[in-house]
Amino acid sequence: MANRIPVGVLGATGMVGQNFIRLLENHPWFEVVYVAASPQSAGKTFAEAVKGRWHMSTPLPAKVSHLIVEDAGNVKAAQGKCALLFSAVDLDKKAIAALELAYAAAGFAVVSNNSAHRGTPDVPMVIPEVNPEHLDVIHCQRQARGWTTGCLVVKSNCSIQSYMTPIWALMQAGFAPKRIILTTLQAVSGAGYPGVPSLDIVDNIIPYIGGEEEKSELEPLKIFGRLENGVIVNNSEITISAHCNRVAVIDGHTACVSLEFAGAKPKLEEIIPLWRAFRAVPQELELPMAPKNPILYNDEPNRPQPRKDRDLDKAMAVTVGRLRKCHVFDIRFVGLHHNTVRGAAGGAILTAELMKAKGFIG
């Protein structure tokens, strides 16, 4: 654990920030030495700042508890303390966009959980098992923006992670999708804290999550896009329709997916072995946060289920089940992932590990 890279967390007191703190506690490569949050928290120890609102089910890591929280708006405060910053700041979208650029311009490698820069063409949105080569945009980003050591990389929305890797595994095998209609059943932790009122979710579901369907329909196109002239050009051959629902589940987003292929169609019996055999760059590089098997297929007729499958392989695996013929499109399946780990902090950490392995950090 010696010689770990010092890292910081922006927005460290919020739900995603707390997950970063929790997941990085014993990380072999990274060590949290810097925490920043809103001006109200600044100046307090981290323990004081989260008093009464530490929402993790593991205790507050001792080392981090003593760190003094800095003002996340103060870019200079982080200088000299760390090279990598995980961003989970909670501001309006425009302010986040500006702040993350300021950190990158100041020389920090920034990996953001926010949506502010997901549409920025020279900012890669990375799922490490799917589009690791998009990190190469960082070179163009640095050149175009005059940055040297700094860079900005973002994580995609949590709602899409239950099916992106399974679909990518099919694409890799030559089976490109054309049209996808899907419905998600999303956990309440995705809305942060206090988030969803209990009066809206006990004995109820909410068939709407603001902005989620738009992100679910657009972000996959960038992730499945190609590098061209220093930016990422969206895939224009896939159309997606997403219905997003909130359900009474603490963690774990489930997606029911119907998919039509563009050209070659795999046989049903080909797909499961293909998913089970799928490995990608994070597995080859044996990144610390990488699941051994990115896609787990469960043969039981009634799986995956959030409470029973979300924690598999450090909560970083996607569990798939119920592969069957679709009477309207070609195939149907159900995918599940842990939204606050794989879909948020854990996915961002894996991305940072990939950046480190590829030489973009430090």
Find the shortest distance in angstroms from Cβ 226 to a copy of itself.
21
Distance CA 290, CA 28 (A): 13
Closest approach of a copy of itself to the CB of residue 57, in Å: 5
- Burial level of 211, CB count in 10 A (0-12/13-18/19+)? exposed
Strands (E) located in 47-196: 70-71, 84-87, 109-112, 151-154, 177-186
Distances from the Cα of 296 to the Cαs of 58, 107, 130, 169, 278, in angstroms?
Answer: 26, 38, 16, 12, 10
CB of 23 to a copy of itself, least distance (A): 16
The residue (of 79 and 241) whose beta carbon lies closer to a copy of itself is 241
Distance CA 303, CA 238 (A): 27
- Active-site entry in 117, 253, 337, 338: 253
Q: How far is the CB of 198 from a copy of itself (least distance, A)?
A: 4
Residue 233: strand pairing partners: 226
> Please, what is the minimum distance in Å from the beta carbon of residue 328 to a copy of itself?
4
Verify whether residue 253 is a known catalytic residue: yes
Work out the burial of residue 296: count CB atoms within 10 Å of its CB; fewer than 13 is exposed, 13-18 middle, 19 or more buried.
Answer: buried
Report CA dihedral (260, 266, 268, 270) to the nearest 10 degrees: -150
Binding site for a copy of itself (CB under 8 A): 52, 55, 57-59, 179-181, 183, 185, 188-189, 193-208, 210, 217, 239-241, 243, 245, 247-250, 254, 256, 258, 300-312, 321-322, 326-329, 332, 334
Rounded Cα–Cα distance for residues 322 and 154 (Å): 31
134 annotated active-site: no
**Active-site hit among 158, 244, 337, 338:** 158
β 70-71/177-186 pair status: unpaired
Shorter beta-carbon distance to a copy of itself: residue 53 or 63? 53
Q: Which amino acid is at 307?
A: R
Decide whether 57 or 229 has the Cβ nearer to a copy of itself.
57
Instruction: Between 331 and 361, name the residue whose CB sits nearer to a copy of itself.
Output: 331
Kindly tell me which of 38 and 305 has the beta carbon lying closer to a copy of itself: 305
Active site residues: 158, 253
